[in-house]
Structure 1
Amino acid sequence: MSSDTESERSAYDQDYDNYDAYSEAEAGNGLIIEGPPTGLEKIFDYEPGGHHPVHLGDVLHRRYKVMHKLGSGGFANVWLCHDISPQASPSEKYVALKIIMAEGSTKECPELRVSELAELADRSAISTGLWCLPLDRFDIEGPNGKHFAFVYPVLGPRVSRLLSLVNNSSADPGDALRKICQQTTWAMALLHSIGICHGDFRPANILVRVSGLNDLSEEEVLSIIGQPQTTKVIKADDPESALSDQAPKYLVYPLDWDTILSSSPQGTALLDPGTAQACVIDFGESYPISKPTPDLGIPQVYCSPEYTLEGKVAIGSDIWALGCTLFEIRTGRKLFDIFDDDKDEYLAKMALILGRFPDRWWDDVWEARESYFKDVNADGKREGGGRVVDVQPQGDSDQRPEARSLEDTIREGLFYEHRGRPGGIERPISEKEAVVFADLLGKLLTYDHQERISPAEALGHKWFHVHFK
């Protein structure tokens, strides 16, 4: 498992110039760190109910030796460990150990849903490797309380970072991206087949597996990923005095996949876009298809229109998120990109691409609609992508967004950032592929959630099985 997810990184990527360690110390446990806080857990979370203190070289559960940190989050830290047990599987020599804060280690812990998922699924579904399921689970009794600990496979970056990190050739990555999309769709199909919706299905929760680590010694692994960097923990009012056992002597900065996978041949060898395998993580928002949750924790840009407008959650919510996710993986862009999760802006962009909403939503439910669109008569309708767009955006003509079909949006091509290419890399998507891909997305993103095709049906679509030139 990797921690390269929006939820585990963005909350702690702070502006060091604006960081006031002493204010944090006054508000928390009186501790500060000497270095910048970027990528680190909050130091004031080392108190009863908080994080378990861990040091490099610690051996947990008599088998997991801590080598590096994979990431930090709001309720857990994730460590790269070497399984030194004689019973360790050669294919799982290095693992990701996720330690939950004590206050979160209860029967309501979202991480427990992953274990429940493993019990529901049959061996054939698990063997695909498309879900990140725990290899082991145990409890840690520490100075800050009891902590749940989950052992996972080591995963690499999110799928949306794949090309940015390792694609240096002029070859068209379309086939590799369609393969990742196919695996992503298959992962959801398997999940739905056992009666579970993911609830937070998006590119940030789809990582790619790294290969080759388990063949290496600890020294060889660290030569590739880099030696851990640390920052000392001290008391704000008495830096020379000893710390209690509730806090570690230092915090460890998480490793950086961007640097690892793009800075050396050994690092690049860990991940090949042509053979990369997708793996879905974070089942904390999952729910039974038969008992939908009342609320979703997924960002607005992946929310279905029925949830956005009426708060309705069903299996169609997952399918809508799948459509948005496939577009993002293939093009490197969000389908409905908005600022600050603005619901009305999201609905407006949706209507511009997919067309007018059903009458009840358009005329009654979407209260802000007239701030964005005015209706036009039949002569003003525009055909596009197999859909009728009979809306005209309000505002000055030189500033308002242009109505586009799915095909138009796909034709803009693939874009991804790359360290070696300032300004990023753009690649075209062929006319033939744009038409076929738009057909698939149209079936996943229809406004009537009952008419959306299932992930299993989507797997039979032509887009997954044709090589486009």
Structure 2
Amino acid sequence: MSLFPEEPLDSAVGYFPGHLNQIINNGRWTLIRKLGWGSRSSCWLATDSEDPENIRAIKIYSASASKDSSSANERNILQKLRDSGILSNVPVTGDTFYEETEGRTHFCLVLHVLGPSILSLLDDSTESERYLPLHAVKQVVGAVLGVLCLLHKNNIIHGAVTPDNVLLPSFQQAHSIRDFMSNDPSNFGQNFAGREGRAYHVVKSQPMNTYGLKRDSPATDFASIQLDLSNYSHARIVSENTMLDAQSNFLPPEASIEGASIDTKADIWMLGCTIYTLLTGRELFENAPGMLSPEDFEKVLAAIRPDLSATKAMSRDDAKETASIIKVCLRLDPTDRPTASRLLGYRWVQSGMICSCGWCASNP
């Protein structure tokens, strides 16, 4: 296990060794803040030398992910979304380029600026309070389903419908970004000893946490923001030999069966796991669900309603209906799971899809 406070820069995957004020893409972009990192990449805020008012997020893939299909896959999927007119609740791309550093090549994807994941709203919570209220989760589910309807219509599996891929919005205008950063300056980083005593410059992630949204914000506040379903490096076009490679304990059982048919219903399974996690602060499965015996799987399902009732996220009556929704998503046979469009019409989902006017919240 890596001891690095951020991405393990000494890993064989070859993360990008970035630092503040670093100039990349032949002088085009200057890195001014580290926004975050994941299993395949890190993300940086950058200013455009050709237009100081143009500030974007640049997703910089690790050297290994730049070599395999991950980076090209995300680029191609996002381009397909743009060509299909799908621009709402998904990352909007700009340029792409390759950056050479320390003898390694990194694929870079220019995106509009997004905020932290929805899980960031739980960062200040105690262990017993790690949950989102039901109204917030319903808003998340409605937004995600809206994207999945469009993806599935185009035979695209998102492949990683997990809480950390649901992102909050951020400022887009340069003056607003600069105002935010004046009150929350970027971290310049510090040296950290990796394997064999080599020093690495580690920069702390600082997402653009904006709009003042909090875990206990009212439903109208959640309704007034646009949530984005991000990370399309795991996405797949439905085919006979589709394989998924996201976090294994969120993947559906069919992903563990060699030669099994995998289609868009995989996203529905992952959505069920995501609903549970957002409401309880815990992951439903410890390991890949496909490895569970039928008896153990039934035990997991039986515990969902009591787990939900034990939280402060909802009433006991709500826990019954919410558990039913999760179980509908977790049907073992993919053909028994509802489509995204059908699930979007369920009363549980519709009751949470209010606008920001306030009237809907008081007159469901």
| Band of TM-score, shorter chain | 0.7 to 0.9
CA distance in 2 between counterparts of 1:64 and 1:180 reads: 33
Q: State the TM-score, normalized to the length of structure 1.
A: 0.61
1:459 to 336, 344, 348: 344
Equivalent residue number for residue 45 of structure 2? 80
Report 1:120-269 matches (<5 A).
120-122=80-82, 125-128=85-88, 130-164=89-123, 173-211=133-171, 214-216=174-176, 218=178, 220-232=179-191, 251-257=201-207, 261=209, 269=212
Q: State the TM-score, normalized to the length of structure 2.
A: 0.77
Report 1:55-74 matches (<5 A).
55-61=19-25, 62-72=27-37
Amino acid of the residue matched to residue 161 of structure 2?
F
State the identity %: 22
Spell out, residue by residue over 1:72-115, the C-alpha distance to the aligned partner (whole angstroms, 9 max, x if none): 455533222123433x7x6xx43221223445433x33121122
Q: Is the 8 A contact 1:228 1:252 kept in 2?
A: no
Amino acid of the residue matched to residue 196 of structure 1?
I
- Report the alpha carbon displacement of residue 159 of structure 1 after superposing the two structures with TM: 1.8
CA distance in 2 between counterparts of 1:282 and 1:222 reads: 25
Amino acid of the residue matched to residue 286 of structure 1?
A
CA distance in 1 between counterparts of 2:64 and 2:351 reads: 50
Q: Tell me which structure has the larger Cα radius of gyration.
A: 1
Q: Is the 8 A contact 1:305 1:347 kept in 2?
A: no
CA distance in 2 between counterparts of 1:252 and 1:142 reads: 16
CA distance in 2 between counterparts of 1:236 and 1:343 reads: 35
CA distance in 1 between counterparts of 2:21 and 2:168 reads: 27
CA distance in 2 between counterparts of 1:53 and 1:441 reads: 41
- Report the alpha carbon displacement of residue 323 of structure 1 after superposing the two structures with TM: 1.7
Equivalent residue number for residue 389 of structure 1? none
Equivalent residue number for residue 264 of structure 1? none
Spell out, residue by residue over 1:105-143, the C-alpha distance to the aligned partner (whole angstroms, 9 max, x if none): 33x331211221133225675321x22243221123455
In structure 1, list runs of 5 or more residues that go unmatched: 1-10, 15-36, 240-248, 262-266, 355-402, 414-425
1:277 to 226, 232, 235: 226
RMSD over equivalenced CA pairs, Å: 3.8
SS of the counterpart of 1:251?
strand
Amino acid of the residue matched to residue 187 of structure 2?
P
- Report the alpha carbon displacement of residue 166 of structure 1 after superposing the two structures with TM: 9.3
Would you say 1:429 and 2:315 are equivalent positions? yes
Amino acid of the residue matched to residue 155 of structure 2?
G
Using a 3 Å threshold, how does the CA distance of structure 1 residues 202 and 212 change in structure 2: closer, same or farther? same
Using a 3 Å threshold, how does the CA distance of structure 1 residues 216 and 343 change in structure 2: closer, same or farther? same
SS of the counterpart of 1:463?
helix
Equivalent residue number for residue 111 of structure 1? 71
1:42 to 9, 18, 33: 9
CA distance in 1 between counterparts of 2:11 and 2:261 reads: 37
- Report the alpha carbon displacement of residue 444 of structure 1 after superposing the two structures with TM: 2.2
Q: How many residues align?
A: 341
Equivalent residue number for residue 411 of structure 1? 309
Q: Is the 8 A contact 1:40 1:253 kept in 2?
A: no
CA distance in 2 between counterparts of 1:411 and 1:235 reads: 44
Q: Is the 8 A contact 1:198 1:287 kept in 2?
A: yes
SS of the counterpart of 2:47?
strand
CA distance in 2 between counterparts of 1:353 and 1:51 reads: 37
Equivalent residue number for residue 100 of structure 1? 61
Amino acid of the residue matched to residue 134 of structure 2?
G
